[in-house]
Structure 1
Amino acid sequence: MKCKEIEQACELYLAGALNSEELVQLRLHVATCQTCKKQYDEVVVLERVLNTVPEEAPSEQLQQRFEHFLAAELATSTSTPTSKIIAISKPTWNFKNIAASIALVIGSFLLGKYQHTVSTSSVKTSTIASAEQRFFANINSASPSKRLSAAQAAIQFNQEHPKIIDAIIAKLFHEENVNVRLAAAESLRKFSALERVKTALLKALTTEETAIIQIELIQILTDIKETRALPSMKKLFENQQTPNLVKQELQYGMANLM
């Protein structure tokens, strides 16, 4: 695969339209070409962000406040003559007035800060819940492209979402679409510090038969310095049916783990 073909290949990858051979060519190219790897990372990460940002609309309460404010402004502008002079008497201040005003300002500030904190927390909780619902709806969809989108979007979550991590692990083993399995493996890289994820990656290396996914698993296990992968790597390397491209990655991985 040539450099000028990478941009289109990335778009096809995100759409789930690359076959296994094309995936291997893409991954091998970006592994050796830093310019194309940067382009690959930018395209994939940008698409993940766009897919995971929820569409937002103003709340009904905010809309009502705006309409009320607008109506009041219109009423004021039409009923108050422009030439009218408003006389403002000089206020008489004493210590009690000042103390009461300061207390009112401080109280209003603290109340506003509390309401903002509660509101922000509620919005964050609601957004996460919505993202989780969207994830599970897509990961279990009959559409390969939606399952691929969900597998890629899993990277937005953290270790506090064990059900999502388990769902991605399940896709790594039981998903029939190669692109979805590859995306699942890539997303699990983020959670590779978890023991159950390490165990899943180690097991997948012994069961996976698709070259591009084998290469991804080898790279992850090598990057996280998982020495327990060495026996499986050696066995896979000695297997005559293992493609040469995978054996090259195995050589590099074993050398870095020994």
Structure 2
Amino acid sequence: MLSAKSLFQEIIDNDESFALFCSIAAGGESQGGWENARIAALVPQSEHHLAPKIARHGADEDKHGRIFNALMRKRGLAPVPVPRDTDYTMLLERAGIGLAHDRLRADHPLTVHDIVTYLAHSRVTEQRAAEQMELLRKHFAGHPDLGRAVKMISNDEDNHLAYCHEELLRLARAGHGRAIQQTLRRCALAEIRIYRDVSLAVMAHMGDILGWPRARSALLAAGIHAVYAWERFAGWRRMVRLEMPERRDALGGPAVPAPEYA
């Protein structure tokens, strides 16, 4: 029977597909680390209190990248090139979601509107990340090699999502509510489309590596399209809701180290 657990298990059990999975994940996390570090350095004076939280967010993302690389090293594997059609962060930037890298490479302070854009983008993408890691945690928390890493990353993603909720609500109270909702909606609708495209690409590459029969690949593709149809109809709304999180000031302290994955 085809299930999320059996699918992930098959990918994890094969060295080539596992290396691709970890390389894709590590690349995205490392890119997120760089983006957050640059944003932290360019925060406007009026939002200076956010700088350490954004830096903490970036440090967490860098840590996640190191974790995925360490998981490969543990199996004697090296990172592999990430196919461009699986590069989620690059495709989001190309779609105009979040802050452009050219903007982040410049040494000009960001505006409050830029911070709204950053937080709205993060609110949407962290929702996706938290859901994905929760799925992995559900099925692999007890895995001898992956369990600790999955639980650590999942907890971090939940913190990131809580932080986005709390800071966006603060900015909404400060008068930015309309801009926040408009940006969230635009980000969410673009993200679900890009997530569909990346999912199709990842499954196609995995299918080539693992030799999946055409019927199985077609079934997986149909499932991905069905998820997109639901998200386009109603599911995207979960990505734009703002609620005060149970975890308050989730990024208020230093990043939790992971020396075993250094």
Same fold at TM > 0.5: no
TM-score (norm 2): 0.21
User: Rg bigger for which structure?
Assistant: 1
TM-score (norm 1): 0.21
